[in-house]
Chain A
Amino acid sequence: MHPAPFAYKAAHSVEEALQLLRSHEDAKILAGGHSLIPALKLRLTQPAVLIDISKISSLRGIRRENGKLIIGSGTTHREIEQSHLVAEASPLLASVAPQIGDVQVRHRGTFGGSLAHADPAGDWPAAALAVDAELVIAGAHGTRTVHASEFFTGMLTTVIEPDEILTEIKVPGEGTPGIYLKHRNAASGYATVGVAVTATHDHGRIGTVTIGVTGATPVAFRASIVEHALNGHAVSAHLLDEAASHAADGLECLSDIHAPAAYRSQLVKVMVRRALGKLLHA
């Protein structure tokens, strides 16, 4: 299928992109295009103008500053996958990147595009929640920073306003152990359920555990019930079993022909348990 006609503008700086967004009604940001273009082709969305931000060099790249990892929104999944800095500073992000789509998708799709799109089955939202990422959003009146816990507001929706751009994402860079487990839909490769977990422990005692879950519900969430049951306690297989068994408490899971709600909620519990076992060796 062919998209409806649209005007194409390439921006070369964030200021220019913001200016273009303000001066055109019904304009949309185009990053890697791997979620937007398929939707355009099916005419599920028909913006009048696309503003390409993939040529803005300041939106690309990974650096460490004051102990934090700072990732430009236009950085591709592949760049994150291949970054030594990410591997060292955020094992969780390093674990997510290679599990996204296939290598062609990872070469085009961007970290920021994925977060802005807020697909209920997207992989990055779970990780952003688990590392409590700070998302920097630029608009007409400068920039604002929003924590991941406040960023996702519903299925395919975030706090980003139509005239704003996500510019960079800050995540803790102390190398906290983390892992992403993904149960892939056999056809699409998207997550039926994905769990992103970080955990610290010392001499058999759990420090802090954080758990982000995607795919199960219309919007990714933190499994705080499980986190509270674990933080500060002595590691034991029994404790992990018990805590993980509550991972789906109160959830209204998505349901489709691939995975009914009960299956998704079972997956959440099992996968949280497995991820905890891998990180806490119990």
Chain B
Amino acid sequence: MRIDGTFSFNANPEHVWDVLLDPEALKACIPGCQSMTSTGENTYVITLTVGIAQFKGTYDGNVSIQDAHRPDRYEIHVDGKGRPGWVRGVGKIKLVDAGNGATTVEVEGDATIGGPVFSIGSRFVPPAAKMLMGQFFNAMKKRVEGPAG
């Protein structure tokens, strides 16, 4: 399953980078994040409760940031499982300087899902993933551009 998206920020790439990779910001902006604990440099264990409408599930997983080249690109590796199913994926994230103190963030995600959510819910997963990604970057955008950011 591919999940792609492009998001624009009114801040320079360095600033966007620092917020996107700040554990506190991640915890606040990841939709449904119940807990996130660091287990080493750039690795975390995370618990999420996410879904659509009544179809919610709790997932436990490992997240790691790899191949990080501030402020240009990084990869986020996710490996999670919960009662509704499991997910394994990699997101390649690129920060492009858009000039005038703005940044375009390009996401290329590739994920594999399985379990019950896959057997009847597979057609709901890509739009749900896209929606959650949108929520994440909108929350990040507020943090980057807002008075506190």
Asked whether A and B interact, the reply is: yes
Q: Which residues on A are within 8 Å of B, measured CB to CB?
A: 1, 28, 38-39, 42-45, 47, 120-121, 154-157, 218, 254-256
Is A42 within 8 A of B127, CB to CB? Answer: no
Max count, chain B CB within 10 A of own CB: residue among A44, A45, A121, A156 = A44
Is B121 within 8 A of A156, CB to CB? Answer: no
**Chain B proximity of A186: nearest CB distance (Å):** 14
Q: Determine the main DSSP class of A at the interface with B.
A: loop
Q: Is B100 among interface residues, defined by CB-CB distance under 8 A?
A: no
Q: Is B89 among interface residues, defined by CB-CB distance under 8 A?
A: no
Residue in A42, A45, A120 whose CB lies within 8 Å of B119? A42
Q: How large is the interface on B (under 10, 10 to 19, 20 to 34, 35 or more residues)?
A: 20 to 34
Task: Give complex CA distance A256, B122 in Å.
Answer: 8
**Which one of B29-37, B47-55, B61-69 contacts A?**
B47-55
Is A44 within 8 A of B127, CB to CB? Answer: no
Q: Across the interface, name the chain B residue whose C-beta is closest to A45.
A: B54
Q: What residues of A have a CB within 8 angstroms of the CB of B7 in the complex?
A: none
Q: Which 4 A-B pairs have the closest CB atoms?
A: A42-B116, A218-B127, A156-B53, A45-B54
Q: What residues of B have a CB within 8 angstroms of the CB of A121 in the complex?
A: 123
A-B contact pairs, 12 of them (CB 8 A): A42-B116, A42-B117, A44-B57, A44-B84, A44-B121, A120-B127, A154-B52, A155-B124, A156-B52, A156-B124, A157-B52, A254-B123
Q: Is B83 among interface residues, defined by CB-CB distance under 8 A?
A: yes
Task: Give complex CA distance A254, B56 in Å.
Answer: 21
Q: Is B21 among interface residues, defined by CB-CB distance under 8 A?
A: no
Given A1-B116, A45-B54, A45-B55, is A155 in contact with B121 using a C-beta cutoff of 8 Å? no
Is B120 within 8 A of A39, CB to CB? Answer: yes
Is B124 within 8 A of A120, CB to CB? Answer: yes
Residue in B120, B123, B126 whose CB lies within 8 Å of A44? B120
Is B84 within 8 A of A43, CB to CB? Answer: yes
Q: What residues of B have a CB within 8 angstroms of the CB of A47 in the complex?
A: 54
